[in-house]
Amino acid sequence: MTPRIFRLVMLLSGMFGAASQAFAAQQEAIEAPGPQGPLAGTFVNAGPGKPVLLLIPGSGPTDRDGNSALGPKPATLKQLADGLALHGISSVRIDKRGMFGSRKAIPDGNHVTIADYVADVRNWIAVIRSKIGAHCVWLAGHSEGGLVALATVQTSVDICGLILVSTPGRPLGEVLREQLHALPSARTVLPQIDKTITALEAGRHVDVQSLHPGLRGLFHPAVQDFMIDLFRHDPAGLLKAYHGPVLIMQGGADKQVSATADLPLLKTADPQADIILLPNASHSLADLGTSPAPDGSLLLDGAVVPDIAEFVRKH
């Protein structure tokens, strides 16, 4: 049997075996306490005694499924949760405080800090452990959610390990600067971009009326406090201080977090981490080598769910 055929047989065997495991998986609403109202999420229960992942969404108005209110709707976290259930792994995916199902937690979803998100994650961990009796919970953060996960493990001991998906290795100010420099339409306003990000990195607010109209929404006064706080955090430094199982998953076609600039910093910060680089995967880990679904969405790279499941089982 050739290696290719052997791998195909193993994959099919795993699919059918996992399908029987997931037949009884149940999906239900779940809540955790928030500052002024409940935090909302979805619990996919793969069965008693199964490991459970807390899925932390990325930046901006991104919901528990991994879809943005501003346009992109890859459903990364929903696809991941559904896929992991087939492998006998439970999950909880959540709406951030002040947004979507968690909108009652605070009046304004922009008035947050990374420490606030960490507090919410800790509340979720407590609820999950109480509900299913797990001795620990895995944290899986996508993009900015990976930074939240890294900040959480600095002071929490009830975490099984980390799964960092498309997570930056540099402070987010550097990442944003690079993203904007890559936009041809931004060339004429690069001095304003650099000056604004530098000011926010130094903890100073910026008068948006002095900026090009196209930049005023990005650096709106309502989000400047959050950006000032966000830019202070160094993901690689946080990872270096953590001593537990870590899986780092990165798309080679990611245009937001760089496989050449960010991934090496994370690898250096934790040489023992498991590293998975998916050459054709985007920032949402969609497989860019496949055809879009009728609704225009793309499926996750075929290695994402099996590789995460294998990592969790191994530990």
Domain ranges of the chain: 3-171+234-314, 172-232
Amino acid identity at 110: N
pLDDT tens string 131-183: 999 999 999 999 999 999 999 999 988 999 999 999 999 999 999 999 999 99
Mean pLDDT of 222-245: 98
- The sign of the CA dihedral 222, 228, 229, 230 is positive
In the chain, the percentage of residues whose pLDDT exceeds 70 is 91
Which residue pairs, CB below 8 angstroms and at least 24 apart, start in 265-271? 265/169, 265/170, 265/235, 265/236, 266/164, 266/167, 266/169, 266/235, 266/236, 266/239, 268/236, 269/169, 269/236, 269/237, 269/239, 269/240, 270/239, 270/240, 270/242, 270/246
Strand partners, 43: 28, 92
Task: Return d(Cα 144, Cα 283) in angstroms, integer.
Answer: 12
Average pLDDT, the chain: 91
CATH superfamily of 3-171+234-314: Alpha/Beta hydrolase fold, catalytic domain (3.40.50.1820)
* CA 246 from centre of chain: 14
Q: Which residue has the tokens 């760089």?
A: 258
- pLDDT category of residue 296 using cuts at 50, 70 and 90: low
Question: Is residue 24 packed enough to be buried (19+ CB in 10 Å), middle (13-18) or exposed (0-12)?
Answer: exposed
Record the tokens describing residue 162, joined without a space.
Answer: 């980390």
Amino acid identity at 156: S
